[in-house]
Amino acid sequence: MNQQEWQRGFGSLDGGKVVGGARYLHVSAVPAELLAELRAEVAALGGPEDGFNVLKLVPDSPRLSLLNYPSYFELAFPLLADSWTLDLAERRCEHRRYDLGRNPPVLHRKELLLRADDSRRVEFARLTAEAEYHGLFANPLIIGHKNQWEDIVRARGLRIEGHALVPLVKPDEPDSAVVQRHRTAMVRRGLSTPMQALWRHGYVADPFTVFDYGCGRGDDLAALAAHGVTAGGWDPYFRPDAPRAEADVVNLGFVLNVIEDPHERRHALTQAYGLARRVLAVAALLGGRAAEERHQAFGDGVLTTRNTFQKYFSHEELGEYIATVLGREPVSVGPGLYFVLRTDEDEQEFLEGRQRSSGRFGAMPSAPARPVVERAARVARPKTPSRWERHGELVEEFWQACIALGRPPREGEFARLTELTKEVASAPVVLRRLSEERGAEALEGARRRRMGDLSVFLALNVFERRRSAGSWGARARVDLREFWGSYAKATEAATALLFSLRDPKGIAAACVAAQAMGLGWLVSGESLQLDGRLVNELPPALRVYIGCAGKLYGEVQSADVVKLHIASGKVSLMRYDDYEGSAIPMLVDRVKVDLRRQQVSYYEYGYEGEFAPQPLYMKSRYMHPAMEGYDGQRAFDMGLEALEGVDWSGYGPPWEAVSARVGAMAAAAGGGRVMGGR
């Protein structure tokens, strides 16, 4: 059978479902003789003689497809399992298999594929009419795959039973109309978690405009106004008449989890993203089976005793949901919190910026100052100040710019570059003289630090497979050329850094180096524990190690104490009650990230929590000597160590066993807050 013959044969058939110019027919609608000829032709091209039940034909094309929808007649909306595409002109056949567990295409209006006299069309057409009545086909662009289709069916309060649509909510179950979304709006005294994160990363400040989508009672807006930040907001219950306006920064905080209609939930996410010019923050409640079991199942979530709906996400599920709906990979910022940057350049600038080290803690030691050479005194005489002396402030500003960049600034990176060249000398000449006078160690240390920051950033791009990788800001492009010569060489070095983490010996060596820099408490061969504020000062290998955990958890720097398990491929993150203000803070929660299994486990501590409260003794060993409060904490810890008969090994004694003695010691030293929560 050549192309003309099969075109004539199939063109003479009536009926079929037409989509995008292609016609779909069930094999039962094809005459036996014509179907036999087709099977023979398919077999000649290496395709299947059987195993398909739908034909896809395109007029005036040498290509046709054979589709396999298992249980075509039994399932109301069959799922595609296999497809074979045949090209009669080039005489070849291509096969594709669809994993039924990974969102395969779904078939609607299947009665149209059958012959007009097929008795089964009546039942199938009745189902189609019912689906149309409920508006399930209203948006044909989003119903083509299993997951989205099932979301829409549930959103209409329906479920599929045989070849019928029945109410999802039974008569004796609460009706969705009683869901009271506004009751989930919390009264806050400070900024919400997503708004705090936006503030921390500099997005809630001039020149950015801010909009809170689903602002509830407006507590975030009031808190921002108290700090001089102008922000707008909208809420369907508390501010329904407020305009939904575009802004540089949009917050969608704890909104998705209270919407019981999956279709409306998607709409809220897409609409909020449409308003964001620079960044969208998305936060949702996290929960697991235990949280869901406390309430009554309702739709794809639960109905609480207060008649509020909650859709509990896992952190990974929320990220996948955002990526699927918006078509853009979000950036994990914290548990249940993601940022979605509008452009690749914005995303890469954000990712690169949060990997910058300060150089204030654990800086490489500088070379000792050169000895002063005594010279014979000369008779003083009036001297005209040199141009270096006249422009000392300008020269110093230039030097600080070099230290900040780790290299000489280019045009546009130092505002007074033209003035420097005119009044003093060219930038290379000035830098050479400054290096001779002050030593090159400071500039070389800044260069190494900046290369370390970029190596971490690039390695994590490789680990996360960021689609935006390569969309650099102006500074990063200059740095890559200056430090490595090309992006390819920089990526090669970063990839080698990432894969070096497979060797526990390398991690152990980096932990030893970190301790030598005053960064954390090392238990040889087991772990390194340190204050979360020191994470970006660690050697690059450890920062990548921790950054990989951040892919699953969010910003590891938000933890009070971080523990790197050297041999097991795990990172633990601890948060304490009043960590900075207490000499012995109390553990509130602990998160363990297993990089090898790609799993995150959460543990709550407290007198009413899952685990007994646990104090943190000897806090100074997790701090750096240059940190504010270190001296006082170290003095307190030395007092603890001096207490007789107390074993401080491991986690130390239970608080009840030493509370009286520690309290007396603190009182004798002048009081102060000893324990968080006490």
- pLDDT for position 382: 63
Report the candidate in 567, 565, 584 with the shortest Cα–Cα distance to residue 576.
584
Q: Answer yes or no: do 212 and 352 share one domain.
A: no
- pLDDT for position 239: 87
Q: Answer yes or no: do 463 and 544 share one domain.
A: no
Last residue within a domain, chosen from 136, 168, 200: 168
Buried b (16+ CB within 10 A) or exposed e, 433-455: ebbeeeeeebbebbbebbbbbbb
Q: Answer yes or no: do 193 and 303 share one domain.
A: yes
Q: Answer yes or no: do 355 and 278 share one domain.
A: no
User: Using CA atoms, how far apart are residues 466 and 459, in angstroms rounded to an integer?
Assistant: 11
Residue 227 burial by Cβ neighbours in a 10 Å radius (0-12, 13-18, 19+): exposed
Helix axes 441-464, 474-484, angle to 10 degrees: 110
- Residues 599-626, mean pLDDT to the nearest whole number: 81
Torsion of Cα atoms, 392 then 395 then 396 then 398, to 10°: 160
User: Is residue 411 pLDDT above 80, yes or no?
Assistant: yes
- Residues 151-162, mean pLDDT to the nearest whole number: 81
What CATH number is associated with residue 212? 3.40.50.150
Buried b (16+ CB within 10 A) or exposed e, 526-538: ebbbbbbbbbbbb
- pLDDT for position 171: 39
CA angle 209, 210, 216 (to 5 degrees): 160
**pLDDT band at 269, cuts 50/70/90?**
very high
- pLDDT for position 480: 86
User: Using CA atoms, how far apart are residues 143 and 153, in angstroms rounded to an integer?
Assistant: 10
Last residue within a domain, chosen from 122, 142, 168: 168
User: Using CA atoms, how far apart are residues 81 and 575, in angstroms rounded to an integer?
Assistant: 47
* Contact indicator for 504, 596 with CB cutoff of 8 Å: no
Helix, strand or coil for residue 611?
A: strand
- Residues 218-245, mean pLDDT to the nearest whole number: 87
In a domain, 376, yes or no: no
User: Using CA atoms, how far apart are residues 352 and 346, in angstroms rounded to an integer?
Assistant: 10
* Contact indicator for 330, 282 with CB cutoff of 8 Å: yes
* Contact indicator for 95, 82 with CB cutoff of 8 Å: yes
Q: What is the pLDDT of residues 289-312, one digit of tens each?
A: 444 445 556 566 667 655 677 787
Last residue within a domain, chosen from 120, 137, 168: 168
Q: Which two tokens stand for residue 243?
A: 């305009």
Report the candidate in 283, 281, 440 with the shortest Cα–Cα distance to residue 370.
440
- Residues 331-356, mean pLDDT to the nearest whole number: 87
Q: Answer yes or no: do 572 and 676 share one domain.
A: yes
Residue 39 main-chain phi, psi, to 5 deg: -60, -40
Question: Across-strand partners of 54?
Answer: 26, 67
User: Is residue 248 pLDDT above 90, yes or no?
Assistant: yes
- pLDDT for position 360: 63
Indicate the DSSP class of residue 115: -
Where helices occur in 366-485 by DSSP H, the ranges are 387-390, 392-405, 417-423, 427-438, 441-464, 474-484
- pLDDT for position 170: 43
Indicate the DSSP class of residue 113: G
**pLDDT band at 173, cuts 50/70/90?**
very low
In a domain, 175, yes or no: no
- For the ranges 152-161, 318-327, 483-492, which has the lowest average pLDDT? 152-161
Residue 428 preceded by cis peptide, ω within 30: no
DSSP 628-673: TTHHHHHHHHHHHHHSTT---STT-S-HHHHHHHHHHHHHHTT---
Q: What is the pLDDT of residues 108-145, one digit of tens each?
A: 999 999 988 889 999 999 999 988 888 888 766 668 88
Q: Which amino acid is it at 590?
A: R
In a domain, 508, yes or no: no
The parent domain of residue 239 ranges over 185-325
CA angle 297, 301, 305 (to 5 degrees): 60
- pLDDT for position 308: 73
**pLDDT band at 381, cuts 50/70/90?**
low
- For the ranges 24-28, 356-360, 375-379, which has the lowest average pLDDT? 375-379
Question: Has this prediction a pTM greater than 0.85?
Answer: no
In a domain, 72, yes or no: yes
Q: Answer yes or no: do 532 and 670 share one domain.
A: yes
Question: Average per-residue pLDDT in the chain?
Answer: 82
Distance of CA 334 to the CA centre of its chain: 8
Q: Answer yes or no: do 292 and 190 share one domain.
A: yes
In a domain, 382, yes or no: no
The rounded percent of the chain whose pLDDT value lies above 90 is 24
Domain count along the chain = 4
Q: What is the pLDDT of residues 83-97, one digit of tens each?
A: 888 887 788 888 888
Q: Answer yes or no: do 5 and 39 share one domain.
A: yes
- pLDDT for position 386: 78
In a domain, 398, yes or no: yes
Question: Which of 75-84, 86-95, 382-391, 458-467 is predicted most confidently?
Answer: 75-84
Q: Answer yes or no: do 13 and 141 share one domain.
A: yes
Q: Residues 6 or more apart from 498 whose CB is under 8 A from it?
A: 459, 462, 463, 544
Indicate the DSSP class of residue 286: B
Q: Which amino acid is it at 602?
A: Y
- pLDDT for position 182: 44
Indicate the DSSP class of residue 108: -
In a domain, 573, yes or no: yes
User: Using CA atoms, how far apart are residues 573 and 183, in angstroms rounded to an integer?
Assistant: 32
**pLDDT band at 198, cuts 50/70/90?**
very high
Helix, strand or coil for residue 38?
A: helix
- Torsion sign (Cα): 58, 64, 69, 73: positive
Question: Across-strand partners of 73?
Answer: none
Pairing of strands 599-604, 63-68: unpaired
* Contact indicator for 131, 108 with CB cutoff of 8 Å: yes
Tally of CB atoms within 10 A around 296: 11
* Contact indicator for 217, 254 with CB cutoff of 8 Å: no
Rg value, the chain, Cα: 33
Q: Answer yes or no: do 536 and 494 share one domain.
A: no
User: Using CA atoms, how far apart are residues 130 and 147, in angstroms rounded to an integer?
Assistant: 20
Q: Which two tokens stand for residue 485?
A: 């010569």
- For the ranges 8-22, 241-255, 396-410, 456-470, which has the lowest average pLDDT? 8-22
- Residues 334-341, mean pLDDT to the nearest whole number: 90
Higher model confidence: residue 188 or residue 115?
Answer: 115
Question: Across-strand partners of 66?
Answer: 55, 84
Report the candidate in 412, 416, 414 with the shortest Cα–Cα distance to residue 391.
416
**pLDDT band at 193, cuts 50/70/90?**
confident
* Contact indicator for 238, 182 with CB cutoff of 8 Å: yes
- Residues 266-281, mean pLDDT to the nearest whole number: 93
In a domain, 337, yes or no: no
Q: Answer yes or no: do 164 and 189 share one domain.
A: no
Report the candidate in 575, 552, 574 with the shortest Cα–Cα distance to residue 564.
574
Q: Answer yes or no: do 156 and 208 share one domain.
A: no
Q: Residues 6 or more apart from 485 whose CB is under 8 A from it?
A: none
